[in-house]
Amino acid sequence: MIRCGMYEAVITPPLGSSMPGHAGERKAAEVLDDLYAKALVIDSNGHVAALVVVDALYVQRIEVQKIRERISRHTPIPPDRVMVSATHSHSGPPIRPGFDGFDHPSYLNYMVERTADAVILAYNRRREARIGSGIGRAEGIAFNRRYWMKDGTVRTNPGFRHPELVRPAGPADPELLVVRIEDTEGRPIGAVTNFACHTDTLGGGNLGLSADYPGELSRLLKRELGSEAVCLFVQGASGDLNHYDFTKPKSIEPGHYRVMGRKLADETMKVWRTIMPSQSGDLPVSVRQAFFPIAYRLPTEAEADEAHRTLASEGATEKERYFAEHLLNMLNDPEKTAMVEVQTFRLGELAVVGLPGEIFAEFGLRLKRHSSYKYTMINTLCNGSIQGYVCTKEAYVQGGYESKLKRNHRIPSGAGDLFVEHALQGLASPGKEALESGCPSNDPA
């Protein structure tokens, strides 16, 4: 018997909180829409998996561990069977210290409790359910933001109709994956949607807290499915994707997050109506984790010299000084490696691949091509083991914003290929022990 529960908990921080996601301190001055932690719990004959997504830029490892621990204290769900990710909203809560140096420990504790409680309440509200998946396409709203220029360089966000622009330097992924969850009477419990595009349509000048286009998507889906339905958005491989098409004149207006949310909602409902949820009383559920170390990148001698010159320059901007100081601090940072977690869920015909960091679209497309499952959901910014862009090897050579060494981006070349390799291994064979007991967590942290 399949039982599912879904729940959403408000995690909106107080006004005046830092809003991370841009190079400069921003303090929240209003609430455009509430932020949530949204959870799905699937229980198939006692084999349980929990997916929880937070409206935030990301969730750090220490908070992920606390969320998992709280869930395991209040439910039978083991920590290794909980996948925690973020929508990557750039208008979200203070999940890291602000540019002003202040952190928000009381908010982080609140977020941890509310996020864990969303899973606990979803578990407690399980009821007999039917699940099905389908795929649509949301064309023309997400684009690769890296472009080849006429001089042979690659530039991120080069400007609309730039005269030197040649072509995009990588692919986009218009696929929209939809999971339909309903009770045995056909009443919607909720939906899971998976799409790849940076959640930054409001821009750096915005001072209003918002879930961005996933929040608008949820609002519109609730109109169709009912106010009690939980509409959970999973961010795909969007490290090099955003909502600007730089090959055309600028056509983005304020409130574009509503335009994107509406287009995604329309396509979601189109797919929803074609999905035939499984009538079977059984849904194989398995979970796998892989942990492996990667060595962080360190500044080169040339990069360190450039940082020293920036700090010595009277004309350097505050932003340039900030990044120069952090680059030099990396030389003395005792943390030279990271233990990466790659997590995979198998839910019948659906595979969910949980990857840390901001994954380039090419990796997501590669995983989908090589996955043996009918439906493969790429879930990024997952489980907090690392932050930053996971670029292709070519991008490290080409340059551009994403490959630039920064405080929160020290991931080495080749890491993305390792992520794909471990994810495909996790999907290759669930294993009898995983199906029966869920494999004890081997998290080394």
Binding site feature residues for Zn(2+): 88, 198
Identify the DSSP state of 118: H
Nearest-CA neighbor of 44 among 367, 256, 280, 359? 280
Q: Are strands 358-359 and 389-390 parallel, antiparallel or unpaired?
A: parallel
Tally Cβ neighbours within 10 Å of residue 102: 11
Spell out where 321-433 has E strands: 337-347, 350-354, 358-359, 375-379, 389-390
Whether residue 133 contacts residue 177, with contact meaning beta carbons closer than 8 Å, is answered with: yes
Q: What is the DSSP letter of 383?
A: T
Q: Rounded to 5 degrees, what are φ and ψ at 219? A: -60, -45
Q: How far apart are CA 340 and CA 363, in angstroms?
A: 16
- Annotated binding-site residues read 88, 198
Q: Residue 28 corresponds to which tokens in the numbers above? A: 């929240």
Distances (CA, A) of 444 to 75, 266, 331: 22, 43, 25
Q: Are 240 and 147 spatial neighbours (Cβ–Cβ below 8 Å)?
A: no
Written as one letter, the residue type at 444 is P
Task: Count how many residues are written for the chain.
Answer: 445
Q: 3-state DSSP call for residue 156? A: strand
* Closest C-alpha among 440, 425, 412 to residue 338: 412
Which residues, 6 or more positions from 210, have their beta carbon under 8 angstroms from its beta carbon? Answer: 31, 32, 33, 35, 89, 91, 92, 202, 257
Between CA 164 and CA 69 the distance in angstroms is 52
Q: Which element (helix H / strand E) includes 311? A: helix 301-312
